[in-house]
Structure 1
Amino acid sequence: MSSDAATEIIINDFVAAIHPNFNYVLTDTAFSACLLTLLVVLFAFSTQESRRRLVFRLNVLAIVVALALGIFSSLVSGRAILDPFNQVSKGIYIASVVFAVFPPVLYDSILLTRLFALYPVANTPRITLLKIFAFPLCVKCARVIVLSFGVNNYVSSQLSTASLEQEQSSAWFRNPYMVSEWTMQIADNMYSVSIFLYNLHLRTSLIKRAGGIAQRIRQIFYISLANFVFPLIFNIAQIICITTDRSPSTGTELLTMNNYITVMGVLCATLWFSGTEWVRSRNEQSRDHVFSSPKPQFARDHVAGGRSGSDVVVIGRGAVTLDTTSSDTKADSRRLPTPEKEDKYTLV
């Protein structure tokens, strides 16, 4: 009986020891698979024009960084499960920490680029750009500095991976660097989203809220709100965990999931815009066949609510006409009544 009891105790201790790492592997595997699927969808719905945009390339970079986090985290956790007495090297362990804490700064920067759609660099005065972007840029620099000090303080005093893992609990509990980082992240996201939604309301207040434009504005609002609310919930949960729970396992899972969900939120916004671009490009190809006929027929545009001859993209304070039709069609569009013209606005 004593031998059976000792064996059961050993098994229970082993299961308890590998349980956090097993959860990490499951989390990384599930979210990495989702990101791979979304990456394929992103390229499938992208057009040659959208792939040249900076935001598209930043989204691809964000996915690659998130997948790198999954690879390094799975290596560390998988080795801890399969071979607990032979851990990964200190460099791989440090890489997993770096890819877990630094990428949110990149993800938040991608969301900040939405403001350039409302304040184009070429048309906005430099003093206005300075007033708008000074605070978020300063906050992001402060976040990078705080994270650098925090990671250096954690890894510099230990010589091996085993000692770093043993130091996790003491380094995690009420860590001032991480609390400062998550607090600044909340302020950073709150500022960016507030400025974007406020200016979105101002720039669209003069547009007639009818047809497809009203639906597009609501979609932009909901996407922007979701990109703020979900990271905000995780940031608050992380601050609560780090100040009340001495075990870093729950907080590490929240930190990992926050990385993946933030990337997915940014990516869903890009997929939504890429999908509309994909549909628009297909409609333009269909119109090319119509224009080649002797008597072209103009179909109604169910997205913008007007005729399919041209789209107007609202950028900054002005409007740019993207027209693929002939000069006669342009002249015809200028003769349209004001309400019908307003229905043709497409906001990005």
Structure 2
Amino acid sequence: MKTLKIIINIGLVLLLGGLFNACKQEVADSLNLNADVHVLAFKVAHVNGVVDNETGTITVLVPAGTDLSTVAPVIDLPANAVIKPASGVAQNFQFSTSSPVVYRVYNGNVFQMYRVTVKEIKAEITAFRIGNRTGIINQNDNSIVIYLPEGTDLTQLSPMVEYTGGAEISPAQGNYVDFSSPVTYTLSYMGETFSYTATAIIGEEPKQPLIIFNGENIAPQWADLGTAVENQSNNPKTDGINASPLCVSIVRNAVNGEGWHGGALWNENKVNIDPTEYSRFSIMVLKEVAGDVQLEIQSDGESNKDWLRAWYAEDHLGEWQELIFEIPENRTAIINNILVMPHEHANGQPMAFETQRMYWDELKALPKE
């Protein structure tokens, strides 16, 4: 009898094991882990993007002047695959160079993520030198100014120019150029042309503004003052006087926000500005309510404090305004800390205040004139 029980138990174990393995095999058979989730083609208008399935990136170079705020890519996928956002649905690619738009391809039980950048074809002059003098390049208006020593013959100059790889430039490198009047340099690149106006001036170069923060290539991290700082905000208005894609922002509360809400450059992100060389600050601000913007300047250890104010005007609400702040004439202490309060007033002053996001950008120290 005991032997019979053992035989029965062994049989049950084998039966249950078989059932378990059968169920397991059935589940495994229902999973599709070999489905193709590669993007086959990604096209914007008539331009094919470069798809890198290994890194999960897609880059599309579109003609200069393309409206990147509303781009509807056409995407080819393997059989049974779907993609989100869907093919043909418009997306905003204005900031995709720094913040790529994420697409996900789903097929069977697998998916793949792609980071997509759509940017205009662009060629730039990145450096311009004559002898030991370096030109000042303004990429906003495609201008170059270079200051040369007294006695320089402007009619026989051979600049060294650095520019986007793969572009062709005219006048060509090594040629002598007459700079007695402004010279136009033209870059030809991928079927597009880009022009710069280069001007040579006899004399010493004036001291240039010191860029402290511009959100892109000069972007120290702002510390929180009373509220969280978003250090990489997308510019909400790039068609005004501040076209750069990134800025900094905070949300100010309508109930309990006070003037000291903002951001600070100090500690590891402190500055070193000599008020005997710089007399003013400029900063771009965008908000929905008029009122004072305040800069508080300090030396190390939060000493030697001064409070600078400028008015954000009613007639340009919701737009970027460039505000100028005068450093006190009698200040000699080095400026190490800069605190920005985009709305210095207590809530309700000087007018009703609603919870809102406020932005600032392009902080500069301006040299004495």
Would you say same fold, with TM above 0.5?
A: no
Which fold has the larger relative contact order, with Cα–Cα distance below 8 Å and residues 6 or more apart in sequence? 1
Q: Going by fraction, where is helix more abundant, 1 or 2?
A: 1
The TM-score with structure 2 as length reference comes to 0.24
Which of the two has higher C-alpha Rg? 2
